[in-house]
Structure 1
Amino acid sequence: MEEGNSTETIKFQLLGLSQDPKLQPLLFGLFLSMYLLTVWGNLLLILAVSSDSHLHTPMYFLLSNLSLVDICLTSTTIPKMLHNIWTQSKVITYAGCITQMYFFIVFIVLDDFLLTVMAYDRYVAICHPLHYTIIMNPQLCGWLVLVCWTMSELHCLLEIFPVLQLSFCTNLEIPHFFCELNQMVQLACSDTLLNDIVMYLSIGLLALGPFSGILYSYSKIISSILRISSAQGKSKAFSTCASYLSVVSLFYCTSIGVYLSSIGSHNSKSSAVTSVLYTVVTPMLNPFIYSLRNKDLKRALKSILRRKI
């Protein structure tokens, strides 16, 4: 940043997924549809859980929290992208970029922690079914969600503070549809060693913490399922975990792929396209993946739709 230049005058350019003018109407329609479908699907799931007393259980409580976070996550990035396409302006201010980055990190990490807590919930339900209601009581569920929020905030502050110390010069073009942390750090003209250390440290902590917790929980779950003697019991146990594993696989495979590709090749365009999978597609598919294989949710959703009709 040139001497005398303040953060108020810094403006970034969000290049988006494509700069081809012919593709802009298609991208606008596609992402508007995906955003509306995400909000509608997750709100419907939250409404179904809250309106049906049979769904007032720890699993559905955590699922409704995940749906709320997914709505917030997509609302952090997609509306700004749609606004930029509609107005044909790619500008975002320094304050806007930092704010967007802050909320994106909070909600994406919160997604990660909630998936871990949901894995623990399934572990207790399958491996310790007789003690499930005692262990997963409402107080514990509330505390677990509160801890997830707190840890996400602390992790975000750890990531954001080093970024606030960076200086920016020229060529402030971000080849992404939102202010992604790694892309923004690469634009700095000051030393980014601290940022790189914090970034890799945080990725390591998330891998050792939530991801390891999910792997451990499901290794115990699969081991318990394999010990079930009846084929019907095995099928029922697997069906309760299949939708969750689909969501976790999609979330982690795409997010890990994005960070590995950005570290290895610095291919910004492919990173931006892949980011769509875990920032837009996964939140959109979550309510449908969970409801399609869940009879209780289907019943609650049909009841809501009948009342509306």
Structure 2
Amino acid sequence: MDIMDEKKMVTLSVEDGPWTGCAVLFLHSCPAVNLLSLYKDQQGKFSVFKVLKLTLTDSAGGLEGYEILKLHDADPLLGVEVKFEDVAACRRFLQSYGSGAVQQSLSQHACRLLHGPQELALETQLKAGTHTLDFCLDDLELCLQHIHQSQPGRLRDDEIAELDQQLQSQALGHIPHPPTLSQEEPPVPSNCFLFQKRVFAPPTLSPDLSEDRILAAGDLQRFSNGVGRDWRKVGRALGKNCCALKGPAIDNLAYEYEREGLYEQAYQLLSRFIQAEGRAARLGRLVRALEDSKLTSLAENILDSQPRE
């Protein structure tokens, strides 16, 4: 069998049927921001995990197709064991790693979340089983084969599962232990949520959808028509849990769409939020952001409902 036939077989093996594989990303950071030391510290653990999760989401093209199984203490290295469940996500990650985008994303997220220097010096190594993938990144199919052959030998650590749940709760704007409602407060039906301590249920709601639905075109238009100059304030509130609206993103939108006016700036803001968050871009998150921005009248307009008595 010649080399071309081998490569064809590799390609077929990773594209056909259910696909899983495992790789370990080893990280060595500068003394100013030591990722391993921070992860060992109880207060820094969540921030380090968030940096890693955001980086993998950036490089794999979304939240699907991979999961972190365990973080290894390989002093002085921090090892990130990743299970890939989708060959396309794994290929995107390898392409990002080979281009240096993974290292750049790690540095940017670490500087922002760990309060490090402007540029974080990082050394990385990617392994699948006994194979060091850094030596064969120019052959993605071979790298995919090595990862596919390195099947995960463990389930996700309980600690990682807890950190992941904490991150999801933060992203959705939930508090880990929500306060119980007092007896005076009305019960919240499954298709409603609380707004201004009252239960809201839009009458236009389809029977098979909950009120905390994915944002729709009508929500975009009402928001853009009503928010005016406060669109930046709402953007900062949404940006607390949305990576696409952090850093200079809002100022960039203001500059890019300055000539088109406030409506277009607001429209592009919410559009970017929806594109970045996908199915997690829900009405409840927008309402909370409007409340935080003291724009309750606009929230009521978007809800287009009176409170249920």
Same structural fold, with TM-score higher than 0.5 when normalized by the shorter chain: no
**Normalised TM-score (structure 1):** 0.26
Higher strand share: 2
**Normalised TM-score (structure 2):** 0.26
Higher helix share: 1
